[in-house]
Amino acid sequence: MNAITDGKLIIISGPSGAGKSTVTRELVLTCELPLATSISATTRKPRDSEKDGVDYFFLDEPRFTELRKADAFLECKQNFGLQHWYGTLREQVAAGLNAGKWVILEIDVLGAMTILEDGRYDPITIFIHPGGMDELEKRLRLRGTETEESLTARLETAAAEMRYMTRYEYEVINKSVAGAVAEICQFLQDHAKKNAEPQPTDAQPASSQPAN
């Protein structure tokens, strides 16, 4: 078991098409906190622009299965379409936390629930969505990468994911990348400030801004 001594875990979830990856990249670049992303492992093949150990750890299925059986993943699952495995490596997360980083996991709702149920990490949880299912469908269609069948499946998955939104600490409607990044950064800075202030032993914990 890896010891966790410093740092903070941040979970960002949301349906496909919500803009999570773009927001996360900009957040790491612009927010003045020691943010870092955890590199996930996957069994899918790398795209042309992707590099092993930078975008993902690209593993074959036997190696992924070996790690899964060895409990090397904090969470893992077969992603959309039940074709490829994705997982968060415990060592990646522990190394970042022990270095004092605020480690961001961009994972789906089931992975997030797995970590919340684990009880050891007390993560900050953020759910990003575009404001409604109609807007989400519009964004997915604009991608031009979906068949009608896959689009329908993604929308059904998204509707199921949206039902988990109230389990998250913060809700962010991604109307613009800059706006979403600024909102999340403010959440995190407020959290850092609150934790830096000495708390009386008999003080009641302040309530966080809940998801609507």
DSSP letters spanning 55-83:
TBEE--HHHHHHHHHTT-EEEEEE-GGG-
CB atoms within 10 A of CB 180: 24
Report the alpha-carbon distance of residue 177 to residue 29 in Å, rounded. 13
Per-residue pLDDT tens over the stretch 54-106: 888 999 999 999 999 999 999 998 875 557 899 999 999 999 999 999 999 99
- Integer Cα distance of 179 and 212 in angstroms: 18
pLDDT above 70: residue 128: yes
Mean pLDDT of 171-196: 93
pLDDT at residue 144, rounded to an integer: 66
- Total H helices, total E strands in the chain: 7, 9
What CATH class has 8-189?
alpha beta
Nearest-CA neighbor of 95 among 210, 177, 5? Answer: 5
Q: What is the DSSP letter of 103?
A: E
Other beta carbons within 10 Å of 70: 9
Q: How far apart are CA 12 and CA 168, in angstroms?
A: 9
Residue 29 · residue 123 · CB < 8 Å: no
Closest CA to 174 of 126, 141, 207: 126
